Amino acid sequence: MTPQLLSRLWEEEHGATAVEYAALLAMIFLAVVGAVALVGEQAGQFFQNATDQFSEHGL
């Protein structure tokens, strides 16, 4: 992209374009995927620990 094009896009003050909505959606998607990956791993460890405890006590 040329500097003139970037400057023109940066100064544009009309309503949001589809590109801006797509970028926003992509950021939200990445945040959700990251949160699910983090929580999913911790939840998996929690349930594995619970299963191990039940096994140790013969349940």
Q: Give CA–CA dist 9/6, Å, rounded.
A: 5
Q: Could you tell me the sign of the dihedral formed by the alpha carbons of 35, 36, 37, 43, in that order?
A: positive
pLDDT at position 38 is 86
- Give the DSSP H/E element, type plus range, for residue 48: helix 18-56
Q: Which secondary structure element, helix H or strand E, spans residue 9, and what is its range?
A: helix 3-11
Q: Using 50, 70 and 90 to split pLDDT, how confident is the model at 20?
A: confident
> Looking at the predicted structure, is the pLDDT value of residue 13 above 70?
no
State the pTM of this model.
Answer: 0.50
Q: Is 11 helix (H, G, I), strand (E, B) or coil?
A: helix
pLDDT confidence tier of residue 19, bands split at 50, 70 and 90:
confident
